[in-house]
Amino acid sequence: MKKIGVLTSGGDAPGMNAAIRAVVRAGINQGLEVLGIKKGYVGLLEGLYDEMTARSVSDILHRGGTILQSARCKEFKTQEGVQKAVETAKEIGLDGLVVIGGDGSFRGARDLSLAGLPTVGIPGTIDNDIGCSDYTIGFDTALNTVQEAIDKIRDTCRSHDRCSVVEVMGRDAGYIAAYVGLSCGAEAVIVPEKHFDFKKDVLQSIAEGVKRGKEQHLIIVAEGVTKDNISAIDMAKRIEEETGVETRATILGHIQRGGNPSVKDRVVASKMGYFAVELIKEGIGNRIVATKGDDIVDYDILEGLNMSKKLDAELLKISEILSM
Ligand code: ADP
């Protein structure tokens, strides 16, 4: 193993830069040449890359986004696309690759490994939705961003005796919603993992809260719920119509994907990047680096993609009880 590449793919997440830095510097420390492939799999198909030095990753540890940029690449999903990517990798002399991204990117990493380019995946997504890893890079920073935004919404909510419906990201998972639901004192947390009854869980809860003297109300809804059911805006309208409490909807959107990574994200990203190089330097590919508690572990990609984890139901239960 002489030359490896690193790329970021799919949705970006704070801490991806810390992972890139770790792969580049751990690689150099092992005597490897490291190429920074730009724009995810697009760059691999088109041969867009920079030769990385220890200095190319200076001053990025604390920055959100990804210096290598990320992209979604349809062409790569085809067999011809994967073949072309492996050929380009050969032309530029790559012996191995580290892919930082989510489950879609890992499917691509598996295809590359099977086609002859050993590839290791590192979970980077704010959604925390990778079944084989307790934690994914970016989740903690996103939680802090959402919490800060909701604290501000709460200030103005309080001033006007209002109800706020806040939609948070998470794709098809409710991790962000469930954690900030508890940390921000939401009255109802609506997530895709749990059936909800709008009348009972939201309208009734607000009406009972009003009777108990509550002057402000916070409902957190995960994007995975709104896309198939009722939108946050329609939810707010119904709450106002049926409870008489003035209600506003806020869709936090992409603010959740940016910002300087938290301590946790920098530490996990650095450890995972280092660990990925330990695998790839031995020519070991087709693996996902993951966390199990505080440990860094690795799984076969297909095995990892087939694993699932459960949203901690206690988070929702405790949040409901404490929001009295
Ligand atoms: P994420 O990695 O965050 O889940 P995407 O699902 O958008 O993001 O995947 C990022 C890229 O990974 C896609 O644009 C595509 O190039 C590649 N990819 C996604 N799904 C597959 C798949 N099933 N097989 C091969 N490559 C895939």
pLDDT bucket at 1, cuts 50 / 70 / 90: confident
- Is 300 marked active-site? no
Q: Consult the annotation and say whether 55 binds a ligand.
A: no
Closest Cα to atom 12, ligand 1: which residue?
A: 105
How much of the chain exceeds pLDDT 90, in percent?
A: 95
pTM of the complete model: 0.96
What pLDDT digit, counting tens, does each position of 260-312 carry?
A: 999 999 999 999 999 999 999 999 999 999 999 999 999 999 999 999 999 99
Assembly ipTM = 0.93
Residue 253 has a pLDDT of: 97
Residue 184 has a pLDDT of: 97
Residue 41, classified by CB atoms within 10 Å of its CB into exposed (0-12), middle (13-18) or buried (19+), is buried
Q: Average pLDDT of the chain?
A: 96
Q: What are the backbone dihedrals phi and psi of residue 317, each rounded to the nearest 5 degrees, phi first?
A: -65, -50
Site residues for ligand 1, CB cut-off 6 Å: 9-11, 41, 72-73, 76-77, 101-105, 107-108, 111, 125
What pLDDT digit, counting tens, does each position of 155-164 carry?
A: 998 888 899 9
CA 9 – ligand 1 centroid, Å? 8
pLDDT bucket at 229, cuts 50 / 70 / 90: confident
What pLDDT digit, counting tens, does each position of 26-84 carry?
A: 999 999 999 999 999 999 999 999 999 999 999 999 999 999 999 999 999 999 999 99
pLDDT at 135 over 90: yes
- Helical H runs in 170-292? 175-183, 205-211, 223-226, 232-243, 263-280
Cα torsion through 237, 243, 248, 249, rounded to 10: -60
Question: What is the mean predicted confidence (pLDDT) over 225-248?
Answer: 93
Sequence-ordered list of residues with C-beta below 8 angstroms from that of 121, at least 6 positions apart, any chain:
98, 99, 100, 101, 105, 106, 109, 287, 288, 289, 301, 304
Q: Consult the annotation and say whether 104 binds a ligand.
A: yes
Q: Consult the annotation and say whether 27 binds a ligand.
A: no
* 97 and 66 Cβ atoms separated by less than 8 Å: no
pLDDT bucket at 227, cuts 50 / 70 / 90: confident
Question: What is the mean predicted confidence (pLDDT) over 229-256?
Answer: 95
Q: List the beta bridge partners of residue 292.
A: 295
pLDDT at 228 over 80: no
Number of H helices and E strands in the chain, helices first, is 12, 11
* 26 and 61 Cβ atoms separated by less than 8 Å: no
- The residue whose CB lies within 8 Å of the most ligand 1 atoms, and thus the one to mutate among 68, 72, 110, is 72
* 43 and 88 Cβ atoms separated by less than 8 Å: no
